[in-house]
Amino acid sequence: MRIIPAIDIIEGKCVRLSRGDYDTKKIYNENPLEVAKEFEDHGIQYLHLVDLDGAKSKHIVNHNVLEQIATKTNLKIDFGGGLKTDKDLNIAFECGADQITGGSIAVKDQETFKSWLHKYGADKIILGADANNEKIAVNGWQEESEEELIPFIQEYQKEGVTYVICTDISKDGMLQGPSFELYKKILKETNNLKLIASGGISTFDELPMLADIGCEGTIIGKAIYEHRISLKQLENYILS
């Protein structure tokens, strides 16, 4: 299972939120590049980079942070937050993103999201399926849609989607463990899905459990920053 640390960006700084609430913002480092380099130094190859300013303002904002990390590390970056137009997407790829994650746009502008899938291919475009009570949430999780989580994923699989990041918003940033049952349910009701678990990871022991369920990757955020999981543990897991 791939280990994918997260860096969330507000005003160019590395932050974390709880349950997507911007009022809970906690700054962990003024320099995201420094954080990314530390990940790389411990054998980590992947990074989930989220432009929270972009998610709120509905267009890409922190592309300079993306470009800095992409040019000064060898991390394979998936980038999300505020990608709403072809122009946003072009900026993200030009600044060094290996993949992009589309969440709100996959709900609100399906034709554009589908066009990205067909133009760039399923290896480049990740479906962001972030949910509360199995309903898809949009706009930086500020709003809940009527889309049911599993049918939403199934419909996009018909369009060729293979990578899905699923965050249970109720778990995100709470350090109370991930949604094992939800991920089991998703994998049971879909075929050949590369499911990336996100939200709630709190201890190292949860990682092999997610791998056993069949998750292709897991995104880890606050557990690293709060020293619940050490980079050395992750390094040993990757090497094992």
Residues 6+ apart with CB under 8 A from 105: 83, 84, 112, 113
Residue found under tokens 């303002």: 57
Task: Please give the Cα distance from 229 to 207 (Å, whole number).
Answer: 10
Active site residue 8: yes
Backbone torsions φ then ψ of 14, nearest 5 degrees: -85, 115
Choose the catalytic residue: 53, 78, 88, 130.
Answer: 130
21 bridge partner residues: 18
Centre a 10 Å sphere on the Cβ of residue 86 and count the other Cβ atoms it contains. 12
Task: Please give the Cα distance from 165 to 149 (Å, whole number).
Answer: 12
Asked if 76 contacts 164 with a C-beta cutoff of 8 angstroms, the reply is no
In the numeric block, which tokens belong to residue 207? 């990682």
Task: Please give the Cα distance from 109 to 103 (Å, whole number).
Answer: 10
Active site residue 123: no
Task: Please give the Cα distance from 207 to 201 (Å, whole number).
Answer: 8
Choose the catalytic residue: 8, 78, 88, 172.
Answer: 8
In the numeric block, which tokens belong to residue 142? 């500020």
Residues 6+ apart with CB under 8 A from 191: 157
Asked if 210 contacts 186 with a C-beta cutoff of 8 angstroms, the reply is no
Amino acid at 126: I
**Catalytic center residues:** 8, 130
